[in-house]
Amino acid sequence: MELNLVMLGPPGAGKGTQARQLRRKWNIPHISTGAMLREAVQAGTPLGREVAVIMESGGLINDDIITRVVTERLSQPDTRSGFLLDGYPRTIPQAESLDRMVGDRAPLIIIDIVLSEGEVVRRLASRMVCAECGTNAVGEGAACHDCGGPLVPRADDRKQVVLNRLKVYRDQTEPLVKYYGSRQTYCRIDGARLPDDVTADIIQAVEGVRPR
């Protein structure tokens, strides 16, 4: 049975960590906004070339372009059994476009990982990133668990930057909770627990609303 998941949550909620676990659990591709943009650029398609020009100039990817990137990605064969979207949608217009994209496919299941702002700031203050491969890590020693590269503080995790990112999240993305909240497939998850407990809660919630 096709399984289409959308992951919501503030910066630092652990969406990437959970996505790695869930994609293995259900054998569906984890599709992040950053990965989609990089894939489009690397593929050298007309859309990818358009995205590359914007990224190289430091411009912002607008709703129309990122929606076209997502549409292109979701048309690929590996998404036939489902997908896990991380970083899209971020706005109501994007959510409306996604609803049109899935059409008569299996309904979207929304995983909303909830975390207080104080916990977000605390977590991001301790977050590191691999200087070699870009993998995120929190309190995991001096070397990346994926490639062995050195871990360094993330430039976008300084307190003021984090507070600005939270404001953007509140202004642009939190309205998605209202958009999706009345659906039977909306799952609210406490993100303040240990990662394995959060994973277990997500699996239980998804299995409880997943069409049979």
Cα angle: 196, vertex 199, 201; to 5 degrees: 110
Lowest mean pLDDT among 40-49, 57-66, 184-193: 57-66
Q: What pLDDT is stored for residue 109 in this prediction?
A: 98
For residues 90 and 8, what is the distance between their CA atoms, to the nearest angstrom? 9
In this structure, which long-range contacts are made by residues 171-179, counting pairs with CB atoms below 8 Å and at least 24 apart in sequence? 172/90, 172/91, 173/8, 173/90, 173/91, 175/91, 175/92, 176/8, 176/89, 176/90, 176/91, 176/92, 176/95, 177/8, 177/112, 179/92, 179/95
Reported as a pLDDT band with limits 50, 70 and 90, residue 47 is confident
Query: Which residues in 45-63 are b (16+ Cβ under 10 Å) and which e?
Result: eebbebbbeeeeeeeebee
Confidence of residue 87 (pLDDT cuts 50, 70, 90): confident
pLDDT at residue 80 greater than cutoff 80? yes
What CATH number has the domain bearing residue 177? 3.40.50.300
Say how far apart CA 105 and CA 87 lie, in whole Å: 20
- Respond yes or no: is residue 154 known to be catalytic: yes
* Active-site position among 15, 23, 73, 123: 15
Of the candidate ranges 29-38, 64-73, 106-115, 181-190, the one whose mean pLDDT is the lowest: 29-38
Q: What is the pLDDT of residue 58?
A: 64
Q: 165 an active-site residue?
A: yes
Q: Which of 42-46, 68-72, 119-123 has the lowest mean pLDDT?
A: 119-123
Query: In sequence order, which residues have a C-beta less than 8 Å from that of residue 169 and are 6 or more positions away?
Result: 10, 11
Write down the pLDDT at residue 155: 53
38 is catalytic: no
Residue 146 zone, left/alpha/beta (φ > 0; ψ -120 to 50; rest): alpha
Lowest mean pLDDT among 95-99, 127-131, 175-179, 203-207: 127-131
20, 68, 105, 165: the active-site residue = 165
> Total domain count for the chain?
1
CA distance 205 to 186: 9
> What average pLDDT does the chain have?
85
State the residue range of the domain holding 156.
Answer: 3-209
Q: Which of 68, 90, 105, 188 is catalytic?
A: 90
Higher pLDDT, 5 or 141: 5
In the chain, where do the E strands start and end? 3-8, 30-32, 82-86, 108-114, 127-130, 136-138, 151-153, 186-190
- β-bridge partners, 6: 85, 110
Q: What is the pLDDT of residue 158?
A: 63
Evaluated on CA atoms 16, 3, 173, 202, the torsion sign reads negative
| Residue 128 pLDDT exceeds 80 | no
